[in-house]
Amino acid sequence: MKITAREVPPRAAWTLEQAGVHPLLARLFASRGVRTAEELDDSPARLLPPADLKGATQAATLLADAIQQGQRICIVADYDCDGATACAVGLRGLKMLGARPEQVSFVVPDRAVHGYGLTPPIVDMVRAKQANVLVTVDNGMASHEAVLLAREHGLKVIITDHHLPVVLDDGQVSLPDADVIVNPNQPGCAFASKALVGVGVMFYVLLALRAELRQRGAFDATNQPRIDNLLDLVALGTIADVGKLDDNNRRLVAQGLKRIRAGRMQPGIAALFTAAGRDPKKATSQDFGFALGPRVNAAGRLAEMGLGIECLSTDDADRADALARQLDTINRERRELESGMREQAEQLLEGLMPEDEPPAAVAIYDPDFHEGVVGIVASRLKDRLHRPTFVFALGQDGLLKGSGRSIPGFHLRDALDVISKRHPGLLKRFGGHAMAAGCTITEEDFDTFDAELIRIAQEGLDPSLLLRQISTDGPLDAQWFTPETVAELDGAVWGPGFDAPVFSDLAEVLGQRLVGERHLKLSLRVQGQVRDGIWFGRTEPLPARTQLAYRVSLDEFQGRQRVQIVVEGAVNPA
C-alpha cells in the first residue's frame, strides 16, 4: 500500500475561501478540480438542459402522443438499484404528467430466469400487458434481437440507457433498431455529462416530456408538475450505481439530499431510512451507498426486484414500511450468504494464489456460489487483492454467470470486448463499465476465460497500478477536529470522482484492542492530541508508530458527541 496526498492548487483554494467557503472545504474542493464558487451552485437551474441529450426530445414526442391518445406504456426495468429507481421515476413521472394509472405498467427480469436486460421473453411479457409503447430503463443498448421482435409486433420502442453500445470487430458501433435511443454515451450525443446513470437519463426524458406537454398547452410554467420532487430517487440511484459525481450528477444528488433532509421524500425512501436505522434529517450520500442501496439491491439478488420498485413507487406509507422491512430481511439474508461465499472464495484463492505475488487478474468459480451475490463478493475480493476480479456462479440455464470489479487503470468492459474478439463465441453475453462488468460463459470455457483475463491484465496494467494507493487530503489540522467541522464535511456531497475526504497523519498508537472480534479499537496520539480511533474489519495489531489514512466521524454516546478517527489504511513511516 502507498499513501499519497492530493495536490491543492493554492489560487483555487484562496478564491473559494474568499467567496465564503469554509477554509477546510475550500482546500478539499480545490483539490477535486473546483475553481470557482459558481461551480458549487447546486440549484436546479444550473442542471444541463434536456435538449442537449440526444433522443430526449424525440422520446418526449412519442410519450406525449401516447399519453394524449390513451395508449399503454410499459417500462422494462433492470434488477439493480439504478434500474429500480429509474423505473419508479418513470412510473411516478408519467402519472404526474397526465398518464392515467391504467396506462402505465412495468416488468422487470428475474436475474436467475431471464438474465439481464430486454430479451424476447421480456417482450412477450410486455405484449401480455397490451402495451403500445415499450420504454427500457438502465438497459437496452445490446438488445438487438428483442427490439426487432417488439417492433415486428407493432410496439414503439424507446431505449433509455447509459451503458456503452456494442462495438463490432471492424470498429463500427452497433445500435439496436429502436424508434428512439436516449443515452449520453451513444455516438453523436453532445450531452456534457457522460456519467449520467439510468435513473438520471429517465429523469431527463421526463424533463423533455414536460417541456413537450407545456408546448402543447397541457399546462403552463406556473402550474406545471414538479418533476424535481423525484430527485430523492435520482440521488439514490446515482450513488448506488457508483455514478461519477461530475458537476451535473453532483447537483442531482445535492438536490435529492436537500429534499430528504427537509422531510420531502417518497414514502419508500422514508421507510428505507427507518428500516436501516438512519436519520433522514442527517442524510448523506453514504446512506445511499451503504444503507438504502444495498436493501433495494437485495431484492434483485435473492428475490425479485418488483418488491423494490413497489416500495419506491407506492404512495401508501404503511405499504412502503412493510416492503422496506421485507427488503431489510432479505438484505440480512444476503449478508449471511455473502459472508459464507467470501469465506469459500478466500479458501479457493489460497490454493490458487502464488505465495509471492497474485496474478494480474483473478477469476474464480465454485458450483456452490449463488448467482445473486457474485458481484458483491467480486468487489470484496478486489478490495483485498487490488486486482481486477471476476466471480462466477452456475445459472439455472447451466451457464456460468460472472460479475467483475476492477481497479483504476483497467477498463473491465473493454477487456471483455478484447476476449470476445480473440475468442469468438466464448462470451455468450457481456456488458458493463470500466469498473464493473458482467458476462456469461460455459463451464468448459472458464479456464480459457481465466487465462485470457490474466493475459490482458498483464498486457495493459502497469505494475505500479497493482500497488494499492490511497489518495488523501494530507494532515487534518487539530483545529478541525470538532463536531462542527464533521457536520460541515457530512453536509457536502461526496462520491465517485469526488471522493469523500481522507486525511493522513503520523500517529503514535497508545492502546489497541479488538471489539466485536472483528474491529480494532485504538487510542492514538495525533499532532500531540489523544484521539479515539477504530479500524473496521481489522484484527492485526498496529506498530507503535504508523502513518494512517483516515476519515473523521462523530461517535455519539449518551448524548455526547466526540470526533472519532476511522482508519482506512496504514503504512510504516519512512
What percent of the chain is predicted at pLDDT more than 70? 99
Question: d(Cα 241, Cα 183) in Å, to the nearest integer?
Answer: 16
- The grid cell for 229 is 420532487
pLDDT of residue 508: 97
- Note whether 22 and 70 are same-domain residues: no
pLDDT of residue 443: 96
Collapsed DSSP state (helix, strand, coil) of residue 125: helix
H or E element at residue 512: strand 503-515
- The grid cell for 409 is 487503470
Per-residue confidence band for 447, with pLDDT thresholds at 50, 70 and 90: very high
Question: d(Cα 509, Cα 515) in Å, to the nearest integer?
Answer: 16
Beta bridge partners of 551: 566
Note whether 299 and 308 are within 8 A (CB): yes
Instruction: Name the phi and psi angles at 386, rounded to 5.
Output: 55, 55
Question: d(Cα 414, Cα 433) in Å, to the nearest integer?
Answer: 8
Residue 540 has pLDDT above 60, yes or no: yes
Residue 355 has pLDDT above 60, yes or no: no
Q: What is the pLDDT of residues 233-268, one digit of tens each?
A: 999 999 999 899 999 999 999 999 999 999 999 999
- Note whether 260 and 361 are same-domain residues: no
Q: Which residues, 6+ apart, have CB-to-CB distance to 411 below 8 Å?
A: 434
pLDDT of residue 356: 61
SS (H, E, C) 208-239: HHHHHHHHCCCCCCCCCCCHHHHHHHHHHHHH
> What number is the average pLDDT over the span 396-404?
94
Residue 141 lies in a domain: yes
State the total domains in the chain: 4
Note whether 503 and 34 are within 8 A (CB): no
Length of the chain: 574
- The grid cell for 462 is 502497469
- Note whether 538 and 445 are same-domain residues: no
Residue 541 has pLDDT above 90, yes or no: yes
Instruction: Kindly report the CATH number assigned to the domain that includes residue 424.
Output: 3.10.310.30
Residue 434 lies in a domain: yes
Q: How many Cβ atoms are within 10 Å of 360's Cβ, its own excluded?
A: 20
- Note whether 225 and 253 are same-domain residues: yes
Out of 466, 483, 508, a domain closes at: 466
Residue 438 lies in a domain: yes
Question: d(Cα 566, Cα 222) in Å, to the nearest integer?
Answer: 48
- C-alpha 362: how far from chain center: 22
- Note whether 506 and 424 are same-domain residues: no
- Note whether 20 and 70 are same-domain residues: no
The pairing of beta strand 73-76 with beta strand 2-5: unpaired
Out of 330, 364, 381, a domain closes at: 330
Instruction: Kindly report the CATH number assigned to the domain that includes residue 522.
Output: 2.40.50.460
Collapsed DSSP state (helix, strand, coil) of residue 514: strand
- Note whether 69 and 11 are same-domain residues: no
pLDDT of residue 384: 86
Report in angstroms the alpha-carbon separations of 229 from 47, 212, 258, 259, 509: 15, 19, 11, 8, 48
> What number is the average pLDDT over the span 496-503?
94
Out of 450, 466, 482, a domain closes at: 466
- Note whether 290 and 312 are same-domain residues: yes
Q: What is the pLDDT of residues 314-333, one digit of tens each?
A: 999 999 999 999 999 999 99
Positive or negative, the CA dihedral 219, 222, 223, 229 is positive
Residue 522 lies in a domain: yes
Question: d(Cα 415, Cα 423) in Å, to the nearest integer?
Answer: 12
Residue 335 lies in a domain: no
Report in angstroms the alpha-carbon separations of 489 from 163, 284, 293, 546: 32, 10, 21, 25
Q: How many Cβ atoms are within 10 Å of 89's Cβ, its own excluded?
A: 30
pLDDT of residue 516: 87
Q: Mean pLDDT score of the chain, rounded to an integer?
A: 94
Q: What is the pLDDT of residues 155-191, one digit of tens each?
A: 999 999 999 888 887 888 999 999 999 999 999 999 9
**Residue type at 294?**
P
Note whether 540 and 509 are within 8 A (CB): no
Residue 345 lies in a domain: no
pLDDT of residue 354: 63
pLDDT of residue 464: 85
Residue 272 lies in a domain: yes
Question: d(Cα 253, Cα 510) in Å, to the nearest integer?
Answer: 40
User: How does DSSP classify residue 290?
Assistant: I
Going by C-alpha positions, the residue among 416, 401, 437, 470 that lies closest to residue 2 is: 470
Note whether 495 and 253 are within 8 A (CB): yes
Q: Which residues, 6+ apart, have CB-to-CB distance to 133 below 8 Å?
A: 62, 63, 66, 71, 72, 73, 74, 155, 156, 157, 158
- Note whether 31 and 109 are same-domain residues: no
Residue 347 lies in a domain: no
Note whether 209 and 97 are within 8 A (CB): yes
Question: d(Cα 279, Cα 218) in Å, to the nearest integer?
Answer: 39
Note whether 519 and 535 are within 8 A (CB): yes
Question: d(Cα 298, Cα 373) in Å, to the nearest integer?
Answer: 9
H or E element at residue 490: helix 483-491
Q: In degrees to the nearest 10, what's the CA dihedral of 133, 137, 139, 144? A: 10
Q: In degrees to the nearest 10, what's the CA dihedral of 277, 280, 282, 286? A: 70
- Note whether 124 and 12 are same-domain residues: no
Note whether 109 and 48 are within 8 A (CB): no
Q: Which residues, 6+ apart, have CB-to-CB distance to 449 below 8 Å?
A: 363, 390, 402, 419, 426, 439, 441
Residue that is written with C-alpha cell 463500427 in the block: 172
Residue with the larger pLDDT of the pair 228 and 467: 228
- Note whether 72 and 192 are same-domain residues: yes
- Note whether 104 and 236 are same-domain residues: yes
Q: In degrees to the nearest 10, what's the CA dihedral of 35, 41, 47, 52? A: -30
- The residue segments making up the domain with residue 371 are 353-466
Q: What is the pLDDT of residues 98-154, one digit of tens each?
A: 999 999 999 999 887 887 889 999 999 999 999 999 999 999 999 999 999 999 999
Instruction: Kindly report the CATH number assigned to the domain that includes residue 270.
Output: 3.90.1640.30
Residue 525 has pLDDT above 90, yes or no: yes
Q: What is the pLDDT of residues 191-210, one digit of tens each?
A: 999 999 999 999 999 999 99
H or E element at residue 201: helix 198-215
pLDDT of residue 537: 87
Burial 49-85 (b: 16+ CB within 10 A, else e): ebeebbbbbbbbebbbebbeeebbbbbbbbbbbbbbb
